[in-house]
Structure 1
Amino acid sequence: MDKFSLDRDWKFYNGDFELPETKTHTECYMAAKAGGAIGAASPDFDKSDWETVNLPHDWAVYNEFEEKWGPSQGYKKRGKAWYSKRFRLDESDRDKQILIEFEGISSYATVYLNGSVIGRNFCGYNSFVVDATDMALYGDQVNDLVVFVDATQIEGWWYEGAGIYRHVNLYKKNKLHIAHWGVFVHPIRKTVDVWDAATDTTIENSSYENKNFRLKTYILDKEDNIVGKDEKEFSVAGGNKIEVNQSILTYSPLLWDIDAPNLYTMVSELYENDSLVDSQKNTFGFRTIAINKDNGFFLNGRHVPLYGTCNHQDHAGVGVAVPDSVNEYRIKLLKEMGSNAYRCAHGNPNPEILDYCDKYGILVMDENRNFNSSADGIKQVQDMVMRDRNHPSVVMYSLFNEEPLQGTPTGRKLAERLQCEIKKLDATRFLVGAMNTGVTTDGGACDILDMTGFNYITHTYDDFREKYPDMPMLGSENDSAFQTRGVYKTDHSKNIIDCYDSEAAPWGNTYRDGFKQVDTRPHIMGLFIWTGFDYRGEPTPFEWPSIGTQFGIMDTCGFKKDAFYLNKAFFTDEPMIHILPHWNFADGEEVRVMTHTNCSEAELFLNGKSLGKKNVDKYDMADWFVPFEKGTLKMVGYIDSKEVCSDEVSTANAAKKIIITPQNEFVYDSCDDAVIFNISVVDENGVSVPTADNLIKFTADGGEIIGVGNGDPNSHEADKAEERHLFNGLCQVIVKQSDGAENVTVTAASDGLESATATVKSVANENKKIFIPSVNEKYIAKWRQAVDLSETRPDPNVKIEDHDMNTWGIVSVGSGYDDKFKNVTGYGLYKTTVNINENDNFIVFRELTGNEVEVFVNGEQKFKGDCQWGRKVEINVSDVNGDADIVVIVNSTKADGNGGISKPVVITD
């Protein structure tokens, strides 16, 4: 298997086209045939003036905020759009299977290749694969891949973005191959030291003859040592597939755990007649999971409370088209907080997120978007499981979220059906439904899955436990507390809320109360806080001019709110203490000072003077009310009367200097990798200024600025810009590396401040992507051709009768010699109509073949000449505007000669 990236150089049109009217019989006939798509889906459609974009791409994030588009989608217009990528495949690929994988498109998508539909998808969250094998063209011919995206279709009540917002990959496989997503590794612990890395491999034979094969499978540790292997021989009938089950014993492997996420690689090699015809590598881990109605969740036999967050996909500046490195940045922040679990809200996530959860040791609730048992609904569930079932981080699948039918008999049947479909593909994970009503209703879905998920409704915890004492319980969505980063006085008139954990949604809890509700009930296996990060859309608790939520423990840039440290105190045992607020207030103003700590006592000092030591309640924390006085506020944490940690804040003067903090030490070269640069300002003493709102202007060398943000939920500044105001002292710029640049350098400047520059090195990536280049030309692919050669020269002005589909065939040209001229002599005629615009100057026949060839444009002869050895011909059409009739007459006078439009025909400027 060879994998390539199709991410670069797509043509994009923001909007839709009216289909051309099919007025004639010929037009209707041709449109009804394979390859006959009309309008923008047609290979002949002129896409030269469309915008060029790279993927991932979210067109909605470019739009202005407008109140008329409503709060759910963040006041951004979505709509419909078209994408097109034209590319070539090698002649050597002709006998291979060609697959195209879309990791995610928002929302509904129709995929065309060379004028035929090759796939449709009705979910904005699942990855899906289309088989391009039968419609693909090879050699000099150009493939026209077109995707129509209908983002007027709404699946969520949050910002969903619009477009091909994840990666697109192309796979080339031999006829005998390992099926896509066809390897499933599910280790089984046999004894204390012995594991069976049970592996199910689906072998697919897309040829039409029987094949014998040998499957060699082996496990590599991180040093590439083989630690287990197996081989089996089978046969598979033509056009069929077979599943091969292997038992691969491994001795004393390192376990995958949240604290030590050890990973192994399963290598699958497929041989036919001792020749390697396909191979795949799949990362996996050895671990056990279990749940208990009384004691919750167990990982590798160890009780692990789930300290999780729910997370949407978008990030400041880039919308849902989030670079891989930015997703890694977000996962690392959650891990730093002590979170050990990640809920994909509310749909199948970007696959790279699961890679990072594997890498850093975070348990995942993988969630299905649509509660639906139609063929499309079942396919979405199947795609989720097939794609994600090798990730050791994935420990449960969520079938639904807050569905109105969840407490009804209909909801029960839907859940049973989806459960059945999942278990067919993966019976090793637990199944859950995230419920906000109906948990104690008879006949609903609450008690038929492996556990019941509770979205808020903490008041039902005990009633449910009494009614269903044997049912494991999970806080699948908790809290919905509000905070505006850097704000310490609530002002609803300004749509801002303080960071003292003082407010939550009517249906939710503060962080402190929400944690207490679960922590004091050991049978509840954990909680998933809503949310890890602020997100665009659903601007609760306010609406316009707010454009994003304030639920996040961090804002949309990943800047930490004080809630980060509050939850870290709940989640971790390593002594820590955090003091809030900052220390910039008016003289004499009474300020509430609060601690977030896992220590039992805390003492507060102002300019070296103790303001008292207090016992810290595990859930409520402790606070002081202090008249403001410039200087330094320090807080010390104690355990068993011993000082174990401290934190301090100091009064900042006016901002003097910009500070840039890159979030990566390096960036991968020529991989479309990106790096985050976080921006702050300090005074003359190097003290951060927490209230600064300066406008910062950016320039980038060695990269392209792809987004800016500051985490302000009320800001209407553009996401795509080269400047941004600080919000409470912070802003962010994201830069994508340019191919070949040795470094990515960002400079930040602002009036009255000392500017700053930061540089990140570019390094080579051993897993460097191979990008398939685009071909940006206008092709004339569809022609009418006289079915039979004639002995006499045909009339170039011949009229094709509208009803005549039999003496005039529909053909594509440019793929080589025309078989009509094989071993015969005579005249052949090709005819088409193309649109010539003011920028088109030439029609270029890359190769015409025949003893004598004539070319006519609107009845006028433009070329006549000998082309028996093949000849490139350029026709000047600068004097033509609008539809033009093109006729080519080929005369072959030798039976052993060749003829035809043997290479592609293009229109150039």
Structure 2
Amino acid sequence: MPATFKKILSFFLLVLIFICVKAQDKSRKVISINQNWHFAKDIHKKGNKQLKYTTVNIPHTWNAFDVLDDEPGYYRGVGYYKKKLNLQPTWKGKKIYLNFGAANQETEVYLNGKKIGSHMGGYTGFTVALDGLKFNGTDEIVVRVDNSYNESIPPLTGDFTFFGGLYRNVSLTVVNQAHFADQTYGTNGVYVHADKVSNESATLNVNTNWVNTSSFANEILVTTTLIDAKSNKVGESKWLSSKNPSININILLPKIEVKNPILWSPENPYLYQAITKLIDYQTGKVLDEVKTNLGFRYFSFDADKGFFLNGKSVKLIGASRHQDFAKMGNAVPAALQVKDVVLLKEMGGNFLRVAHYPQDQAVLDACDRLGILTSVEIPIVNEITETQAFTNNCKAMQLEMIKQNYNHTSVIIWAYMNEVLLKMRYGKEPERKKVYLKSIENLAQQLEELTRKTDPTRYTMMSNHGDVNGYMNAGLTKIPMIVGWNLYPGWYGGKSTDIGPNMDKIHALIPNKPMMITEYGADVDHRIHAENPIRFDKSLAYGMEYHQIYIKDILKRPFIAGAAVWNLSDFSSETRSETMPGINNKGLLTLDRQPKNTYFLYKAHFNKNPYLKIGDGSWKLRGGITPKQELTVISNLDSVELIVNGRLQGKKGVTDRVVSWEIDFKSGKNEIEAIAYQNGKVFKDRSTIDFILQPQAFLNSSASLNILLGSQRQFLDDQNQLWLPSKPYEQNSWGHIGGEPFKIKNSSRQLYGSDKNIIGTQNDPIYQTQSVGLDAYELAVPKGKYEVTLHFAELMGNGIQSVLPYNLDSLVAEGKEVPPQRIFDVYLNGKQIIKELNLAAKYGIARSVERKFECIVADDKGIKLIFKSVTGKPVLNALQVRKIN
């Protein structure tokens, strides 16, 4: 028997006896220190000693609310965090690390006034060793975080908010002097991956980095034990050091061979666990222990046939995800982060594009556990800086991303650039532009080579916008293993039905490269509804039509390996205006994670369980001038029966997961029931919808009649008031006389209205449409006393936004003409109530103006507003009329 084997055998006998007679202390302690930090913004750059601190808990961002106000921009600067450490005397002689989940984006760490570490980049974790602790209650940590623009740190720009702060968990790790660690990349130093996986066998590779800071003299045994989900031992690997081991050691343990592994998949996300220990060979004491969950799976991408997992064809369907939440910014507790993955799984998704930056470890832990395949990317977005410092930071981010997420079974793709030609520099300098494009290509090639060298087990990807020829000519489609395309036909330009033919053309141009649609989507403001939806009206109905077309065309093309909706949820984008300023509304969920009908549509398509949902979404309060309106049911069953207020509306077949009825709503509450059958089982969904029939509801209550001018959509405001689109006046009814809907000149994207941020209101859609050149407005109301409220906003002039900052398909002309001066008078039932109103001069551009008046109707002529021009054309954005008792 070899001497080494005898030594190992005798050691294990010793360990067995030791375990029987004495319980061991836990070798590695991780302690959260999220509570009771002190924080201050350094708005005057005075340094942390002169600042006034407030108590906060981590996660924390200083931008949770200023990104949503009407003032352009948000605080990008320095913030200080400080905390006294409560250190236990038993930790003396241990090694203690301070762990940051992330801090955006430049961080310096001080212990007792001395700088002990720093980090650049806002989306990966990092670790700082705490050396020189006093253990007398005076130890203080100060963390300086700066989210200012830095041309050396990506992202430089992006359609998302760069929140500042300590926005992920902070903890202490307490270990023995000999322990696992890879401080360079902020990990615990244990890296596992499955190799040569098949249905019959697999190999587990374990690579360990460990540190011996006390010059530990005894031999050290490193072991990994693989156990299954029932804690049964599957295999084991061991390595024994010599005496007086080195201070820093990297060891690849002998491979563990596994027979007949249970394969991990979205349908069966089976996880094994590798328990890796660092053991004092002489005493049997466990010096450190790390537990790593892992799954066995094998996968491949094919340019013509798509994605294969464990030998089976699988269409990757899911969404991209940003990490912020309503009223929290990006400082979101782990439980809410995990809930996003749960919602994606419940939708039937099997893929998450972690975009545009690495996210909380809790997200990928949930993906491993729930069976969601993922890609993860670093935040090189829109453009680059042509410096070595920028390149070095990109490489450091890529390495940190790979190392920190290496053990996640769910990760199948590493990515590193998104729409990098979107903000093209040197457009008027052709020769300089060539140099810039070459710099991008060189950076991409370096990141590609770095990624393949660091982790050859996964694929690489770049995501490009719709300028296909631009990316091909720049050589960027040749570099990654997979090409992702962010395509928005039917939104920023073109028609939704263009998506299929466009993908066919791209595949013909690049036939040998696997590809995915990494972004597609349409804004859906959950407060806006339209009976006749059109592009850019932000309505739920348009979003439904858009996604139905995309889903159908994606599923019918095998060469599209997968697709990720942009986005799983609405997210903060401070530079956007639109109907909800500061928010990108392309999510299937709202910013506070309430599902929209589009989410239900995906659930009907991809969740394999029988599904039936009345498509009211946020439209449980609706109205109109007639009781007839369409009601939609979303289902994956063959046919559905609908009952409204106890009356059967008939049975209809489901097409593309949707079926609709035109029904007669009654004024007030309507009880809706949908019923479907499958294999002898009954499936039901119920809903209650309040319907406001105008003008009857207005005449019979104290509620107001709320009317949008120049609009074709309904809107539900923050007071739960329903606004209806105006109509031409009809006798004995209400409506406008003259005028035409406001439309931005030279805009190819909006048929009416503006997306300009309206200052002074949270209900921007009330003011973003208007009637121009209005002659009059009449309402046939009975005798009585009324309050009339007029809403105005000047939509033309300096500051009018006629082009989106992120227009991914084509250029849109920007209207810069200065309009003629607009001055007008307003009369209410013959009495002048407004004289020479000049909105631009008095209030400025795109600012909400509300004027209230009372009037008494003493005859049968109702209410009549007259608009008379002094100069230019009168306008009216919205109107409210309320009867006063």
The equivalent position to 2:513 in structure 1, one of 471, 479, 482, is: 471
The answer to whether the aligner puts 1:500 opposite 2:541 as a matched pair is yes
State whether residues 601 and 614 of structure 1, in contact with CA within 8 Å, keep that contact through their aligned partners in structure 2: yes
- Give 1:750's aligned residue: none
Letter in 2 for 1:186: H
Alignment of 1:681-830 (within 5 A): none
8 Å Cα contact 1:89/1:137 also seen in 2: no
Q: Secondary structure at the match of 1:474?
A: strand
Opposite residue 280 of structure 2, the aligned amino acid is: E
CA distance in 2, matches of 1:491, 1:56: 44
Counterpart secondary structure, 2:79:
strand
- Report deviation, 1:149: 1.4
| Matched pairs, number | 627
Structure 1 residues 64 and 305: alpha-carbon distance in aligned structure 2, compared to 1, 3 A threshold = closer
In the alignment, the residues of structure 2 paired with residue 287 and residue 255 of structure 1 have an alpha-carbon distance, to the nearest angstrom, of 5
- TM-superposed deviation, 1:618: 2.3
Give distance in 2, aligned partners of 1:330 and 1:217. Answer: 33
TM-score w.r.t. length of structure 1: 0.63
Structure-2 change in CA distance of 1:52 and 1:491 (3 Å): farther
| Equivalent in 541, 546, 553 of residue 510 of structure 1 | 546
Report how far residue 112 of structure 1 moved: 2.0
Query: Which of 136, 141, 147 is equivalent to 1:145?
Result: 141
TM-superposed CA distance for 1:502, in Å, is 4.6
Residue number in structure 1 paired with 2:477: 446
Partner of 2:36: 9
Please, which of 163, 167, 170 is the counterpart of residue 168 of structure 1? 170
- Structure 2 CA distance for partners of 1:539 and 1:368, relative to 1, 3 Å: same
1:627 aligns with 2:664: yes
- Aligned equivalent of 2:180, options 173, 178, 181: 178
Amino acid at match of 1:445: L
CA deviation vs aligned residue, 1:686-714 (integer Å, no higher than 9, x gap)? xxxx979679xxxxxxxxxxxxxxxxx99
* Cα distance in 2 for residues equivalent to 1:461 and 1:64: 36
- Is 1:60 paired with 2:63? yes
Aligned to 1:596: 634
CA contact (8 A) 2:209 2:248 kept: no
- Counterpart among 525, 541, 544 of residue 484 in structure 1: 525
Runs of 4+ aligned structure 1 residues displaced above 6 Å come to 490-493, 690-695, 713-719
Residue of structure 1 in register with 2:765 after alignment: none
Structure 1 residue 466, shift from structure 2 partner: 1.4
How many Å separate the matches in 2 of 1:8 and 1:715?
A: 39
SS of 1:512's equivalent?
helix
Deviation at residue 2 of structure 1 after TM alignment: 2.6
Match of 1:424 in 2: 453
Alpha-carbon distance between aligned partners in 1 of 2:313 and 2:577, rounded to the nearest angstrom: 36
Which residue does 2:82 correspond to in 1? 84
Q: Deviation per CA, 1:212-253, whole angstroms, max 9, x where unpaired?
A: 421111022333332211111135864433232331123333
Counterpart for residue 850 of structure 1:
none
The root-mean-square deviation of aligned C-alpha atoms, in Å, is 3.6
- Alpha carbons of structure 1 residues 53 and 616: separation in structure 2 relative to 1, 3 Å: same
Aligned residues of 1:8 and 1:54 also touching (Cα < 8 A) = yes
Give 1:333 deviation, angstroms.
1.6
Q: Distance in 1 between matches of 2:440 and 2:486?
A: 17
| Cα separation, 2, equivalents of 1:717 and 1:364 | 41
Contact 2:100–2:127 at 8 Å: present in 1 too?
yes
- Structure 1: 5+ residue stretches without partners: 20-38, 71-75, 504-508, 655-689, 696-712, 720-909
Quote the Cα distance in structure 1 between the aligned partners of 2:328 and 2:551: 32
Bigger proportion of residues as strand = 1
Q: Where do 1:303-318 residues align within 5 Å?
A: 303-318=313-328
Gaps of 5+ in 2: 1-27, 385-389, 425-435, 489-498, 693-714, 721-755, 763-885
Instruction: Give 1:374 deviation, angstroms.
Output: 2.5
Look up the match of 1:555.
590
- 1:330-389 CA-to-partner distances (Å, cap 9, x unmatched) read 221221111111111210001111111122221111121137763222111111111111
- Decide whether aligned partners of structure 1 residues 653 and 542 sit closer, same or farther in structure 2, where only a CA change above 3 A counts: closer
1:194 counterpart (172, 196, 201): 201
For 1:252, the equivalent position in structure 2 comes to 260
| Aligned partner of residue 198 in structure 1, secondary structure | strand
Per the alignment, residue 338 of structure 1 pairs with 348
3-state SS, counterpart of residue 320 of structure 1: coil
Amino acid aligned to 2:111: L
Is contact 2:518–2:563 with CA below 8 Å preserved after alignment? yes
Which amino acid in the other structure matches residue 553 of structure 2? Q
Native 8 Å contact 2:298 2:310 kept in 1: yes
TM-score (norm 2): 0.65
SS in structure 2 at match of 1:511: helix
For the residue of structure 2 that corresponds to 1:513, the secondary structure is: helix
SS of residue matched to 2:542: coil
Residues 484 and 561 of structure 1 are in contact (CA less than 8 Å); yes or no, is this contact kept in structure 2?
no
User: How much does 1:68 deviate?
Assistant: 2.3
Q: Which amino acid aligns with 1:174?
A: N
Counterparts of 2:318 and 2:87, CA distance in 1: 45
> Do the aligned residues in 2 keep the contact of 1:593 with 1:624 (CA within 8 Å)?
yes
| 3-state SS, counterpart of residue 618 of structure 1 | coil
CA shift at 1:608, angstroms? 4.9
Give, in angstroms, the shift of residue 534 of structure 1. 1.0
CA offsets 1:770-824 (integer angstroms, 9 cap, x no match): xxxxxxxxxxxxxxxxxxxxxxxxxxxxxxxxxxxxxxxxxxxxxxxxxxxxxxx
Contact 1:207–1:238 (CA under 8 A) maintained in structure 2: no
Residues of 1 paired with 2:507 and 2:124: CA distance? Answer: 34
Within 1, Cα distance between the matches of 2:346 and 2:198?
Answer: 34
Q: Residue 571 of structure 1: which of 606, 609, 622 is its match?
A: 606
Partner of 1:170, secondary structure, is strand
CA displacement at 1:542 relative to structure 2: 0.4
Matched, 1:400 2:422: no
Measure, in 2, the Cα distance between the counterparts of 1:384 and 1:632.
51
Contact 1:56-1:323 at 8 Å conserved across structures:
yes
Whether 1:390 aligns to 2:400 is: no
Flag the 1:288–1:718 CA change in 2: closer, same or farther, 3 A: farther
Match of 1:843 in 2: none
Look up the match of 2:239. Answer: 232
Match of 1:618 in 2: 656
The answer (yes or no) to whether the contact 1:540–1:548 under 8 Å persists in 2 is yes
1-structure distance, mates of 2:757, 2:88: 51
Question: Is contact 2:533–2:542 with CA below 8 Å preserved after alignment?
Answer: no
By how many angstroms is 1:315 displaced?
Answer: 0.9
How far does residue 496 in structure 1 lie from its aligned partner after superposition? Answer: 7.5
CA contact (8 A) 2:197 2:298 kept: no
2:731 paired residue number? none
CA distance in structure 2 between the aligned counterparts of 1:308 and 1:716, rounded to whole angstroms? 36
Cα distance in 2 between the residues matched to 1:103 and 1:64: 23
CA distance in structure 2 between the partners assigned to 1:611 and 1:191 by the alignment: 54
Matched letter for residue 574 of structure 1: N
**Comparing 436-445 with 382-391, which one deviates more in the overlay?**
436-445
Provide the C-alpha distance between the structure 2 equivalents of 1:474 and 1:2, rounded to a whole number of angstroms: 42
Contact 2:665/2:691 (<8 A) preserved: no
| Contact kept? 2:460, 2:481, Cα under 8 Å | yes
The 8 Å contact of residues 636 and 643 in structure 1, kept in 2 or not, is answered as: no
1:239-289: CA deviation from partner (whole Å, max 9, x where unpaired):
433232331123333332212222222111112343322221112112222
